[in-house]
Every structure is written in structure tokens, then in C-alpha cells.
């Protein structure tokens, strides 16, 4: 099938769906200017990924913090980074009552900024900090991001960004809510994720086993393409999602 026919078919499926779930990865934010972690142009080609190992963060806090601050708060978090048309369509579908939630592996907060209300952040969110001692959470904008690692104003404990480091578990609420959403949807849209990160990569299979139609948008085939996806649309999510949306019945 040609891409144009697949776009029409995706629009047909999604027009008839009552409970759409979006499942997003780093590719969804690529057109917003956020690079992937791995592969060409990936962050970990330039920086040591150990900076995000939780034990390393406790033992070599100053070294880790230097990298975290540079990568996530000087570079990612500049004002140029905005939701792209792909994020905006997912927000529109939620406002129209078609989409029940977005399950995201991204930590960049762009779905919420775009207007989505129900976002299950499988790997947390860099726009918050959490105290490693008392668990209190703070908006990142309230934290002084100096060269010295930040500490909690309530208990003095070390703060860390509220996304999961290597060696940490998935946030419980996000985990169980994602499984429930995958079990109860009728269409599941996989967007810009390679499917290599576990356990997030088991969520699309849950939707499939429960009878949902699986639509995938990715520039390259992923681990889902030949096994799980009913319809694979090859291309950029910021271009394909608006084209699908334009053909949907209202
Ligand atoms: P990944 O880097 O493993 O794969 C990205 C996928 O996106 C690839 O399959 C690629 O072909 C596809 N892609 C690239 N540009 C695209 C576009 N414009 N449209 C559609 N698809 C596109 O990403 P992953 O599967 O999400 O796993 C990486 C992990 O790294 C995740 O856990 C995530 O938390 C984290 N991460 C997050 C961000 C972010 O928050 N924006 C950025 C980088 C990495």
C-alpha cells in the first residue's frame, strides 16, 4: 500500500475508534529539536551515560551533575524547544474525546505543554526535581541550577531530576495506568519509538492482545513493525499525524 492510502486507512480506523491511546518515544520530539540518546547525533556519543546511573549520581554527584545540567537544563530546556504538530494533534484528539491518554517514554514534558491532560510518564519528567531523601517534588523552574548539585530546601537531601535513572524502577502509577489503558483501548498509535527499551516495550503487545488496532508511525521500521503493527506509516510524525487528522470524520 502507498503511504497516501495508509494515511487514509489510519484516518478511517481512528475516526471509528472511541478509545485511542498514543504511545510515544524520542522520535516524537525529534522535530522539536530534541536529539535521541542513541544512534546518529545521539547524546550518549558525546557524554558518558554513567552520569544517569543512580549509584554513580550518589557516589560522584558533582561529576554527574555537571553533565546532567549541561545536557538537560542548558541544552534541552532552552526556550526554542516547543511542541511540534505531532504533539498538537494528540492534544486535539484528547480534547475531542477520542484519545484517552498518551503513554510516553519521553521526559521532555512536551505533551503536557501541547495541552494533553492525561499523560502517563513512563520514565518520569525532567521539568520536576525530586528529593532523594524526603521525596518532595519541586518544579525545575524553582530550583537554582548552579554548578553545585541542588539540595532540598525542606530536608537538605540531594535533589535529582524526576526522571528515572539507570538502576531505578518505573513510577508505579504510570506503570499500572499504562497497562490499564492498553488493555482498554480500541486503537493504539505507536509513534517514534524503536521498541528497544524495556519494560515500556511490552505495552503495545498488551493493546494488541486485547484487540486494539495498532498503527505505527516511524521514520524507520522498529521492533514492532513486523510483529505488532497492523498499519505501518513510514515518515515523520510531525508530518503524518496532521495528514491523518485532516482526513478524519467529524
Ligand atoms: P529511540 O531513540 O530508541 O528511538 C527513536 C525512534 O524514533 C527511532 O525508531 C527513529 O526511527 C524514530 N524517529 C526519529 N525521528 C522521527 C520522527 N521525526 N518521526 C517519527 N519517528 C522518528 O527512542 P525511544 O524508543 O523513545 O527510547 C529512548 C529512551 O530515551 C526513552 O526511554 C526515552 O525516555 C529517552 N529519550 C527521551 C527523549 C525526550 O524526552 N525527548 C529524547 C531522547 C531519549
69 and 93 in a single domain? The answer is no
- CA 185 – ligand 1 centroid, Å: 23
> Closest Cα to atom 22, ligand 1: which residue?
27
The CATH number given to whatever domain includes residue 151 is 3.30.1600.10
Does the pLDDT value for residue 36 go beyond 80? no
Residue 39 in domain: no
pLDDT for residue 47: 83
* Atom nearest to 193 CA in ligand 1: 25
Ramachandran assignment for 97, one of left (phi > 0), alpha (psi -120 to 50 degrees), beta (any other): left
- CA 152 – ligand 1 centroid, Å: 31
pLDDT for residue 35: 80
pLDDT for residue 32: 94
* Atom nearest to 122 CA in ligand 1: 34
Active site residues: 123
Q: Which three cell numbers stand for residue 65?
A: 551533575
Q: Which three cell numbers stand for residue 74?
A: 542548558
Work out the mean pLDDT of the chain and round it to a whole number: 94
Range of the domain at 26: 3-34+81-123+170-247
Does the pLDDT value for residue 236 go beyond 80? yes
> Closest Cα to atom 43, ligand 1: which residue?
36
- Residue where the block lists cell 514492532: 224
Note whether 72 and 228 are within 8 A (CB): no
Q: Return the best residue to mutate from 27, 40, 72, 221 for the ligand 1 pocket (most ligand atoms within 8 A of CB).
A: 27
pLDDT for residue 21: 98
204 and 185 in a single domain? The answer is yes
pLDDT for residue 78: 62
219 and 141 in a single domain? The answer is no
CB count in 10 Å sphere of residue 55:
11
Tell me the C-alpha distance between 110 and 92, whole Å: 14
74 and 134 in a single domain? The answer is yes
152-211 pLDDT, tens digit each: 999 999 999 999 999 999 999 999 999 999 999 999 999 999 999 999 999 999 999 999
> Closest Cα to atom 28, ligand 1: which residue?
26
Residue 56 in domain: yes
pLDDT for residue 109: 95
245 pLDDT tier (thresholds 50, 70, 90): very high
pLDDT for residue 43: 77
Structurally, the chain folds into a number of domains equal to 2
pLDDT for residue 79: 61
> Closest Cα to atom 16, ligand 1: which residue?
27
62-121 pLDDT, tens digit each: 999 999 998 888 766 666 789 999 999 999 999 999 999 999 999 999 999 999 999 999
Note whether 212 and 185 are within 8 A (CB): yes
147 and 207 in a single domain? The answer is no
pLDDT for residue 103: 98
- CA 85 – ligand 1 centroid, Å: 16
- CA 151 – ligand 1 centroid, Å: 30
Tell me the C-alpha distance between 62 and 111, whole Å: 31
240 and 187 in a single domain? The answer is yes
* Atom nearest to 197 CA in ligand 1: 27
> Closest Cα to atom 18, ligand 1: which residue?
236
> Closest Cα to atom 39, ligand 1: which residue?
106
Does the pLDDT value for residue 49 go beyond 70? yes
Q: Which three cell numbers stand for residue 209?
A: 492482545
The CATH number given to whatever domain includes residue 243 is 3.40.50.1220
17 and 88 in a single domain? The answer is yes
What's the number of CA atoms in the CB half-sphere (13 Å) around residue 70? 13
115 and 177 in a single domain? The answer is yes
pLDDT for residue 156: 96
pLDDT for residue 44: 77
- Around ligand 1, the residues with Cβ closer than 6 Å are 25-27, 29-31, 34, 36-38, 105-108, 123, 192-194, 196-197, 217-220, 222, 236-238
pTM: 0.95
pLDDT mean over 128-143? 95
* Atom nearest to 217 CA in ligand 1: 20
- Of all residues in the chain, what percent carry a pLDDT higher than 90? 85
Amino acid at each position: 500500500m502507498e503511504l497516501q492510502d495508509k494515511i487514509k486507512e489510519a484516518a478511517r480506523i481512528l475516526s471509528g475508534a472511541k478509545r485511542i491511546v498514543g504511545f510515544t518515544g524520542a522520535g516524537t520530539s525529534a522535530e522539536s529539536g530534541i536529539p535521541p540518546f542513541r544512534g546518529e547525533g545521539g547524546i550518549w556519543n558525546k557524554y558518558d551515560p554513567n552520569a544517569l546511573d543512580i549509584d554513580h549520581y550518589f557516589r560522584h554527584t558533582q561529576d554527574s551533575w555537571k553533565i546532567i545540567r549541561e545536557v538537560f537544563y542548558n541544552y534541552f530546556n532552552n526556550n526554542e524547544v516547543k511542541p511540534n504538530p505531532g504533539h498538537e494533534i494528540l492534544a486535539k484528539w484528547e480534547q475531542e474525546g477520542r484519545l484517552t491518554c498518551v503513554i510516553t517514554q519521553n521526559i521532555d514534558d512536551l505533551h503536557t505543554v501541547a495541552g494533553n491532560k492525561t499523560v502517563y510518564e513512563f520514565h518520569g519528567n525532567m521539568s520536576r526535581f525530586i528529593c532523594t531523601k524526603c521525596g518532595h517534588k519541586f518544579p525545575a523552574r524553582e530550583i537554582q541550577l548552579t554548578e553545585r548539585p541542588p539540595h532540598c530546601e525542606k530536608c537538605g537531601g540531594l535533589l535529582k531530576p524526576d526522571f528515572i535513572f539507570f538502576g531505578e524502577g518505573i513510577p508505579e502509577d504510570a506503570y499500572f495506568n499504562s497497562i490499564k489503558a492498553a488493555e482498554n483501548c480500541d486503537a493504539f498509535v505507536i509513534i517514534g519509538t524503536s521498541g528497544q527499551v524495556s519494560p515500556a516495550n511490552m505495552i503495545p503487545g498488551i493493546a494488541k492482545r486485547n484487540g486494539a488496532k495498532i498503527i505505527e508511525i516511524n521514520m524507520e521500521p522498529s521492533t514492532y513493525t513486523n510483529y505488532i503493527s497492523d498499519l505501518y506509516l513510514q515518515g515523520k510524525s510531525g508530518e503524518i499525524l496532521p495528514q491523518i487528522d485532516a482526513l478524519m470524520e467529524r
